[in-house]
Structure 1
Amino acid sequence: MNATALPDAPPEAAAGHLPRDGALAITGWGTVCSLAIGAEEFSAAVTEGRSGLRDVTGMFEDEDLPAAEACAMPDFRVRDHLGRKGTSFFDRSTSLALVGCSLALDDTDLAVGDDNRERVGIVLGTTAGSIRATGEYSRETLVQDRPYLVNPMLFPNTVMNCAAGQAAIRHRLKGVNATVAGGQLAGLSALRYARNLIRRDYADALLVGSVEEFSPHTAWGTHHLYADDDGRAPVGEGSAVFVVEDAAAVHRAGRLPDAEVLAVEVGTYAPADGRPEAGDRGRPGAAEGLATCIARALERAGAAPSEVWAVASGESGVEHRDAVERRGIEAALGTTAERLRVKRSTGECHSASGSLQIAALLGRHRIDPALDGRLSVVTSCSPDGAVGAAVLRGWHRARRDHRG
């Protein structure tokens, strides 16, 4: 990731910074992916430009994969992180999400106890839950004698909100519990949903993020869908989870966040031919729609395009999709901001991608004080023309740990 000249620090970056009305504070976060597990290691890996590509030969005993390498974790076992109790029947999506939630809670200075757990909840983004678990349970109902030989312990994994529910049970969080199905936009959509919940006083704090598992189903599906795109990112998996709170409340408590989420905007600009390059019947195309989302997000954040130091984009090496995202970003921001193409390191993590993009920006901020108070943008585009953008302001972690 190439460095670029930074714009002048805005006044808000000074010691007396006051959060913008309606902003969310990110007070802790965790990641689980082939690149790194945990915020500290992920921050270092992103800054150094490491690759998460791994040999996945034999990862699934009797099932072939379309490629010998992927951004997956063949050695990941949930019991290594959470112990054996209660984890035996977790599907992979649930396992990844729960470890991400645990890491985020370990990383925050928010104390969750009996006095506030009723006001702490979870919002997780996904595409369709665990596709592998759903497929295997459906197969059981076809090849086994029903109902006696169909394993009932597998059924909860077929429910899309399994991961969010299990995370709440494990961490005894009694607040809002929601699952947002959003595909590529799952991370941004979950963050937007969480913002609305906190603004409307349904929660004081939320674990927010998204998850995607690696399986033969996702590997082969992606392979067939983009077989002609030789430069595409390898398939990946992972989760990223953030502890978010009302920024004004965090400030009043004298706490210092890792970042503030100033705005999240989404929209749909799907054309009739299934490719989001152009509009349909007078509607704007996805590139124009993304530019509109970015501009709207910056306006809500009270910021100018010239203040943005970096864009973490969802570009994946699929040229016709990447061209849309590039045009939208350049139309709204020009070409001076540094571009973080996160999928080059994490792979194509589908519904987890947006959250990992946010984590990549937080990772850069965590270890580099020169970026304190700088604005960054996260963008995402789905194959059907849905687009989204978020505006963040971040700080380095030592500032919080040393309160100075």
Structure 2
Amino acid sequence: MTGVVITGWSTVSPAGVGRAALAAAAATVPAVATVPAAATVPVGASAGGGWPVEPLPAAPVDVTALSDEPLPTTTGHALVDFDVRAHLGRKGTSFYDRATALAVVACGDALRDAAVQVDDGNRARLGVVLGTSLGSFRSTSDYTRETLVQDKPYLVNPVLFPNTVMNCAAGQAAIRHGLRGVNATVATGPLAFLDALRYGTNAIARGYVDAMLVGAVEEFSPHRAWTTSLTGQPVPTGEAAAVFLLARADQSGWVGPRREAEVLALATAYGPGGGPAADRALTGCVTRAVRRAGIDPAEITCVFTGETGPEDTDEFAPACAALGHVPARMRVSRLFGRCDAATGGLALATFLAAPPTDAAGRLALLTARSPDGGTAVAIVRGWPDAGPADR
């Protein structure tokens, strides 16, 4: 076990800003009980239960207001009316790109949710790590285009350059909230949130910091929308920032008013070329994580995957094979669209926002897989009193 707990969190997603908005969105979408037939497990194994059934897909919204450029479709999953100035004011936000704005707001809200006041006495021991695919795709593309179409080199606005750097969001979050601890960005696409979670727990366990803001962010842009469309993805493009405050369980000054959950184990692996090799890598990840967590695999009643298609079981089937039973499956892309790096963060937030149970603790398995064969998993225990809250 890692000994690291989650003491507060927040999201900025198509549902709105904050944990209450996400919980309300998840609760209002009709659900359907499905266990994919393709998820085969060893003979004699049984299907698990004890978790809310998977939601039906949420309806996308009109996103044409977010771009002056052509879009492959007029709808997507985005927070169309998001205005960073309404949350942070005008000062210092003029040149935020959308990804940075989403991340900075989510970080501030997570600090408030955990009741952490950043001051000179603790700022050096609080860090931030964010996962992403490649930072702001739009900022990078637009700046590159400017260097080609404007007179060289004078009419390229240098103020826009920082937004092209992948660690822009994490750096701006640290500047805005006065954080001087470890600052990092993990750019591993679909694995990014779980990799960031691993990075953050390691930084705490090794004593580099006492607490970490750990999260991931993806913005809605025409660039991501066209990528989704041209690659034939079955789920519309989405956007989100999900951020969690992590601290050691024995650090009384950081655990806040209550402990939300404990990160029991994490594991990563690589299956060269994807396919069967990646299946084996993911199965091995789950097996190692279960062993490190010291739990009975039967205790895991839900698997949160990054899968999008209805028949896609590239993550769920290997996980079931390792667990020896078929738990419920939750694909958060059905609620929030294709959010790439932020998908894992939304999965963890959805887990923590679920109604409390009478059990001693709820266990969930989070999985992620990249096209090149990378795999990652996390096992998290949520406590009975860590359900939705109006905070």
Q: TM-score, normalised by structure 2?
A: 0.88
- If asked which structure has higher relative contact order (CA below 8 Å, sep 6+), I would say 2
After superposition, the Cα gap between the structure-2 partners of 1:237 and 1:252, relative to the gap in structure 1 and judged at 3 Å, is: closer
Partner of 2:183: 177
Among 255, 259, 268, the residue aligned to 2:261 = 259
After superposition, the Cα gap between the structure-2 partners of 1:333 and 1:212, relative to the gap in structure 1 and judged at 3 Å, is: same
Structure 2 residue 237 is the aligned partner of structure 1 residue 225? no
Any residues of structure 2 matched to 1:112-261 within 5 Å, and which? 112-226=118-232, 232-250=234-252, 256-261=258-263
Structure 2 residue 362 is the aligned partner of structure 1 residue 374? yes
| Matches of 1:99 and 1:219, distance apart in 2 | 23
Partner of 1:383: 371
Q: Is the 8 A contact 1:312 1:360 kept in 2?
A: no
Q: SS state of the match for residue 28, structure 1? A: strand
Segment drifting more, 43-52 vs 74-83: 43-52
Deviation at 1:291, TM superposition (A): 1.3
Q: Is the 8 A contact 2:218 2:341 kept in 1?
A: yes
| Matches of 1:196 and 1:326, distance apart in 2 | 27
Structure 2 residue 4 is the aligned partner of structure 1 residue 24? yes
| Matches of 1:52 and 1:264, distance apart in 2 | 33
| Matches of 2:323 and 2:9, distance apart in 1 | 28
Deviation at 1:52, TM superposition (A): 5.9
| Matches of 1:157 and 1:238, distance apart in 2 | 18
Structure 2 residue 308 is the aligned partner of structure 1 residue 301? no
Among 290, 298, 317, the residue aligned to 2:309 = 317
Among 295, 306, 327, the residue aligned to 1:337 = 327
Q: Equivalent pairs: percent with the same residue? A: 49
| Matches of 2:161 and 2:254, distance apart in 1 | 45
Deviation at 1:77, TM superposition (A): 1.6
Q: Is the 8 A contact 1:257 1:400 kept in 2?
A: no
Deviation at 1:35, TM superposition (A): 2.3
Partner of 1:45: 25
| Matches of 1:156 and 1:74, distance apart in 2 | 24
Partner of 2:66: 59
Any residues of structure 2 matched to 1:63-142 within 5 Å, and which? 63-142=69-148
Partner of 1:36: 16
Partner of 1:268: 270
| Matches of 2:279 and 2:142, distance apart in 1 | 38
Partner of 2:54: none
Deviation at 1:172, TM superposition (A): 0.5
Q: SS state of the match for residue 309, structure 2? A: coil
Q: TM-score, normalised by structure 1?
A: 0.85
Please tell me the residue identity of whatever aligns with 1:309. T
Partner of 2:345: 355
Q: Is the 8 A contact 1:31 1:241 kept in 2?
A: yes
Q: SS state of the match for residue 296, structure 1? A: helix
Q: Is the 8 A contact 1:119 1:204 kept in 2?
A: yes
Q: SS state of the match for residue 153, structure 2? A: coil
After superposition, the Cα gap between the structure-2 partners of 1:201 and 1:215, relative to the gap in structure 1 and judged at 3 Å, is: same
Among 265, 272, 275, the residue aligned to 1:277 = 275
Partner of 2:36: none
Q: SS state of the match for residue 26, structure 2? A: helix
Deviation at 1:392, TM superposition (A): 0.4
Please tell me the residue identity of whatever aligns with 2:138. R
Q: Is the 8 A contact 1:35 1:42 kept in 2?
A: yes
Q: SS state of the match for residue 390, structure 1? A: strand
After superposition, the Cα gap between the structure-2 partners of 1:253 and 1:86, relative to the gap in structure 1 and judged at 3 Å, is: closer
Residue-by-residue CA offset, 1:254-300 (whole Å, 9 max, x unaligned): 963100001111111132xxxx322xxxxxx2122111111111111
After superposition, the Cα gap between the structure-2 partners of 1:335 and 1:49, relative to the gap in structure 1 and judged at 3 Å, is: farther
Would you tell me which structure has more helix in proportion to its own residues?
Answer: 1
Q: Is the 8 A contact 2:247 2:254 kept in 1?
A: no
Deviation at 1:318, TM superposition (A): 7.3
Please tell me the residue identity of whatever aligns with 1:376. A
Deviation at 1:333, TM superposition (A): 2.2
Q: Is the 8 A contact 2:213 2:244 kept in 1?
A: yes
Residue-by-residue CA offset, 1:140-193 (whole Å, 9 max, x unaligned): 111112332111110110111110110001000111110111100000000001
Q: Is the 8 A contact 1:119 1:175 kept in 2?
A: yes
After superposition, the Cα gap between the structure-2 partners of 1:182 and 1:382, relative to the gap in structure 1 and judged at 3 Å, is: same
Deviation at 1:372, TM superposition (A): 4.9
After superposition, the Cα gap between the structure-2 partners of 1:140 and 1:390, relative to the gap in structure 1 and judged at 3 Å, is: same
| Matches of 1:114 and 1:305, distance apart in 2 | 44
- RMSD of aligned residue pairs (Cα, Å): 2.1
Q: SS state of the match for residue 98, structure 1? A: helix
Please tell me the residue identity of whatever aligns with 1:263. A
Segment drifting more, 368-377 vs 141-150: 368-377
Query: Structure 2: where are the runs of 5+ without partners?
Result: 31-57
Residue-by-residue CA offset, 1:341-375 (whole Å, 9 max, x unaligned): 111001110111111111111111xx324355121
Q: Is the 8 A contact 2:211 2:254 kept in 1?
A: no
Partner of 1:289: 281
| Matches of 2:20 and 2:99, distance apart in 1 | 22
Aligned residues: 362
